[in-house]
């Protein structure tokens, strides 16, 4: 079996709510080689109720400048579109100040730099939500993830 690439593993984690069991991941995607998830810019280990898990990370953030010329190296997407799929400002004649186009030239280039071009909008949403503090109330990641697990159970 050929081990998965970092990008494939990151996509897999994002598709699974942003965190997976380390053992399952290493066994199923890494050919049993835990070194593949050693890149701490992308994969962060933590423990939940004694279960080792890996969470997906990125240094990519959203640009919050209106009419940004694009030199920011951040993603140009309206927060409302990213997190809820619709934006209240699109019904106004003036429209929304932020891009509703994930596949714009700028975004495709930025996603390529971060090796995230294979992520779907949903996967990207998961990744950015758990990585960008400005998008969340100030809770730490563990509490967020604990919350997610509890929600999953009901
Ligand atoms: Zn920008
Ligand atoms: Zn918008």
- CATH (domain of 29): 1.10.10
**CA–CA distance, 35 with 38 (Å, rounded to integer):** 5
Total domains in the fold of the chain: 2
Most confident of 40-49, 96-105, 124-133: 96-105
Cβ-proximal residues to 24 (8 Å cutoff; 6+ apart), any chain: none
Q: Both 11 and 33 in a single domain?
A: yes
Q: Assess whether pLDDT exceeds 80 at residue 137.
A: no
Alpha helices in 30-140 (DSSP H): 79-84, 105-113, 121-129
If you measure from the C-alpha of residue 67 to the centroid of ligand 2, how many angstroms do you get, rounded to a whole number? Answer: 13
| pLDDT tens sequence across 50-104 | 889 999 999 999 998 988 999 999 999 999 999 888 999 988 888 899 999 999 9
Q: Both 65 and 55 in a single domain?
A: no
Identify whether the C-beta of residue 12 lies closer than 8 Å to the C-beta of residue 4: yes
Q: Both 101 and 130 in a single domain?
A: no
Q: Both 73 and 95 in a single domain?
A: yes
Please give the structure tokens belonging to residue 128: 């950015």
Q: Both 54 and 65 in a single domain?
A: no
**CA–CA distance, 31 with 42 (Å, rounded to integer):** 19
Residue 86 burial (CB count, 10 A)? 11
Mean pLDDT score of the chain: 85
Q: Assess whether pLDDT exceeds 80 at residue 39.
A: yes
Please give the structure tokens belonging to residue 115: 């090796």
Q: Both 106 and 121 in a single domain?
A: no
Q: Both 107 and 122 in a single domain?
A: no
| pLDDT tens sequence across 111-126 | 999 999 999 999 999 9
Identify whether the C-beta of residue 130 lies closer than 8 Å to the C-beta of residue 56: yes
What region, left, alpha or beta, does residue 27 occupy, with left being phi > 0 and alpha being psi -120 to 50 degrees?
A: alpha
- Domain boundaries, position 69: 61-113
Lowest mean pLDDT among 39-53, 89-103, 118-132, 137-151: 137-151
pLDDT of residue 90: 87
If you measure from the C-alpha of residue 67 to the centroid of ligand 1, how many angstroms do you get, rounded to a whole number? Answer: 8
If you measure from the C-alpha of residue 8 to the centroid of ligand 1, how many angstroms do you get, rounded to a whole number? Answer: 27
Q: Assess whether pLDDT exceeds 70 at residue 141.
A: no
Q: Both 55 and 75 in a single domain?
A: no
Tell me the ligand closest to 90's alpha carbon.
2
Q: Both 109 and 125 in a single domain?
A: no
What is this structure's pTM?
0.79
Q: Both 55 and 65 in a single domain?
A: no
Q: Both 134 and 108 in a single domain?
A: no
Q: Both 122 and 88 in a single domain?
A: no
pLDDT of residue 146: 53
Identify whether the C-beta of residue 30 lies closer than 8 Å to the C-beta of residue 39: no
Q: Assess whether pLDDT exceeds 60 at residue 134.
A: no
Which three-class secondary structure state does DSSP give residue 26?
helix
């Amino acid at each position: 079996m050929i081990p998965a690439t970092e990008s494939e593993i990151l996509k897999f984690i994002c598709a699974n709510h942003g965190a997976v069991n380390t053992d399952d991941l290493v066994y199923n995607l890494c050919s049993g080689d835990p070194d593949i998830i050693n890149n701490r810019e992308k994969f962060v280990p933590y423990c939940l109720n004694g279960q080792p898990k890996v969470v997906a990370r990125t240094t990519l953030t959203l640009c919050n400048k209106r009419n940004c010329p694009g030199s920011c190296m951040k993603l140009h997407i309206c927060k409302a579109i990213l997190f809820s799929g619709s934006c209240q400002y699109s019904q106004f004649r003036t429209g929304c100040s932020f891009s509703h186009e994930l596949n714009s030239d700028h975004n495709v280039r930025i996603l390529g730099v971060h090796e995230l071009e294979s992520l779907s909008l949903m996967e990207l949403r998961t990744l950015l939500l758990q990585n960008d503090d400005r998008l969340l109330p100030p809770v730490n990641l563990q509490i967020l993830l604990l919350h997610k697990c509890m929600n999953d159970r009901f």
